[in-house]
Chains A and B, each alone.
Chain A
Amino acid sequence: MKQLNAIFEGVGSVVQLFLRSASYAGSLPRQWSRFIEQCYLIGYTTLPIVAILSFFIGTVLALEAGYAMEGFGAKEFIGSLVGLSMARELGPMMTAVLLAGRVGSAITAELASMTVYQEIDALKTMNIQAAKILVLPRLAAVLVMMPVLIVIANIVGWFGGSVVARYVSYVGISPEAYFAALRHFTKFKDVINGVEKAEVFGFVVVLVCCDIGLNTRGGPREIGAAVTRAVVVSLILILVLDYFVTKILL
């Protein structure tokens, strides 16, 4: 019962934070520098790890698909499998997971530190709302950066699959055949679906991490616990939301 209460409390807190942040949406142009800074942290600095992860997800997909499809002579469909899987599911989900691990943890750590060391209280004393200057730029930044990250992740993943398809002996299909199958079965609508998923995931991850950071209580030890909790909750939410968003988009 206590845990259920904690869940309801957490949901309520997140919703309140979102509404407060949304109420300050008009102030975003005046926070341009903060917005750019968050874009840099969320998008630019996350790109290398997203690219590396997506490349290897694409290669593993092609390897597994080649191994499975070789048995019934359907290797030509590897491109379609990698293309659809990356665009609709793995690209958005793995990018959101990375975002939770890299950006979400950083956000929680930063906001938890500010809370623990009473910087948030100082802002409140100056009538500056944390939701306005700490949460809103992050939410706006993740909404702008996620599509870019997803498209790069998709393209890198598709390329990784083509490398395996070309150079692994038991797969052995030409890049032309791989990309022809990919183009045949993967539509731009699938990419858009993936982007929509990623927007939901990214927004929820940043919002939850901000909320957990701002609600940290105790001393410096609690900062680490808050980061851990933020990442775990983010990952669970990504997977739970994945089901429902996919169901809605199909």
Chain B
Amino acid sequence: MNTTQQTARVGLFFLLGVALIWVTFETLSDGKFFEEHQHKLVARFNDLRQLKVGDEVRLAGVRVGSVQATRLAGRQAEAVLQIDPTVAIANDSTATIEMAGLISGNYISIDMGSIGAPALADGAEIRTVETPDLNTLMADIGGLGKQLQSSLGSFSAALNGDPSKGGGILQKLDKLVTENSERVNATMTNLQQITDKINRGDGTLGKLVNDPKLHDEMLATVDEIKAAASQAKEFVANAEGVMDQIKSGKGTLGTLVYDQKAADDIRASLANIRSVSDKLAKGEGTLGKLINDPGLYDSAQVTIKKVDRTLDGLNDSGPITAVGIVANALF
């Protein structure tokens, strides 16, 4: 092979290599050899857990950056986030540490924040929310398991019980069934007979189950009950309307209940009535004397007798002037 051919092959091979290096670079780094200037945000947590440099930062699930550094900041831990400068993170967005999977580490998840909120500036601190990690959850589940085990132990003890004290629920139940087996059998036989009768349509329950006429009647009854209920509902609605009117002080009853002036008038009237009745009881005034004084009654009776006699005289004495007769009778 001459030198020219050898050189050509080496040149071709080298160019192929360079092309493949370029393809690899474009595929794996999206054509960015040097990192562009990116916004930095600081997220403070009580515990960064397994978060490490290079882990993803996702906004609503979309990768927008990565964790540039992790460090201690006082009694907290701080993660410095590199964010794509074309992505605006709202200043009310919150960052949380999420698990990407059981074996694939963690990532920082940022929510969208509210619409119209201003974007966080370069170097600003983003709000954070602590979320329980897998270890905490596993510890909780472990505690739950222990409680469950304890509960199951108690349940099992209750079921099995202490044999010296007659055993647990299961033993007592077994004993109960064994001792009452004849009664249970009799009860079951009765139940069997009852269900047989129902199936045959015997008795009220059987007819109710099997007779379509009874079924129709029951339906009609139900309809009537529904109609009655409807009327009752209407009545209640009317009553509610009346109550509303009363409450709003409309009508006589409403005025009576809610109008202060009417109440005062009624109170004054009652006081007057009581005053009059007291006077009547004491025999004061004309009506009181009329009720309480027996002399007035006697006088009235005498007067009526005289009038009666006068009228009788009129009938017997002929045409005498009415004035003369009345005067004669009276005086």
Give chain A's interface residues, CB within 8 Å of chain B.
Answer: 33, 36-37, 39-40, 43-44, 47, 72, 74, 77, 144-145, 147-149, 151-152, 154-155, 183, 186-191
Contacts and interface: CB of A to CB of B under 8 A. Distances in A.
Given A186-B28, A188-B24, A144 B3 contact: no
Contact of A155 (B10, B13, B20, B25): B20
Contact of A36 (B7, B16, B33): B7
A43 B103 contact: no
B18 to A, nearest CB: 7
A190 B24 CA distance: 11
Contacts of B7: 36
Nearest to A47: B13
Contact of A37 (B6, B23, B27, B29): B6
A120 B17 CA distance: 34
A212 B23 CA distance: 38
Contacts of A147: 17, 21
B114 interface: no
B304 to A, nearest CB: 122
20 contacts: A36-B6, A39-B10, A40-B6, A40-B9, A40-B10, A43-B13, A72-B103, A144-B14, A147-B17, A148-B14, A148-B17, A152-B20, A154-B24, A155-B23, A183-B27, A188-B24, A188-B25, A188-B33, A189-B29, A191-B25
Nearest to A189: B29
Interface in B251-297: none
Given A36-B3, A147-B21, A152-B17, 14 more contacts: A33-B3, A37-B3, A39-B10, A39-B13, A44-B9, A77-B104, A144-B14, A145-B13, A148-B13, A148-B20, A149-B17, A152-B16, A152-B20, A154-B24
Interface string B122-150: 00000000000000000000000000000
Interface centre among A72, A147, A151 (most CB of B within 10 A): A151
Interface residues of B, number: 22
Contacts of B14: 39, 43, 144-145, 148
Contact of B103 (A44, A77, A144): A77
A183 B17 contact: no
B17 A151 contact: yes
A9 to B, nearest CB: 36
A190 B25 CA distance: 11
A191 B13 contact: no
Interface of B: 3, 6-7, 9-10, 13-14, 16-18, 20-21, 23-25, 27-29, 33, 102-104
Main SS of the interface on chain B? helix
Contacts of B16: 148, 152
Nearest to A69: B103
Nearest to A185: B104
Contacts of A155: 20, 23-24
A152 B13 CA distance: 10
Nearest to A46: B13
B92 to A, nearest CB: 30
Contacts of A148: 13-14, 16-18, 20-21
A221 B21 CA distance: 43
B9 A187 contact: no
A187 B7 CA distance: 33
Interface centre among A36, A47, A77, A144 (most CB of B within 10 A): A36
A154 B9 CA distance: 21
Nearest to A149: B17
Contacts of A189: 29
A33 B6 CA distance: 9
What 8 A-B pairs have minimum CB-CB distances, sorted nearest first? A148-B17, A188-B29, A188-B28, A39-B10, A151-B20, A44-B13, A40-B6, A36-B7
B148 to A, nearest CB: 25
A224 to B, nearest CB: 27
A4 to B, nearest CB: 41
A129 B250 CA distance: 127
B10 A44 contact: yes
B110 to A, nearest CB: 19
A20 to B, nearest CB: 26
Contacts of A33: 3
Contacts of B28: 183, 186-188, 190-191
Contact of A151 (B9, B24, B29): B24
A72 B33 CA distance: 36
Nearest to A158: B24
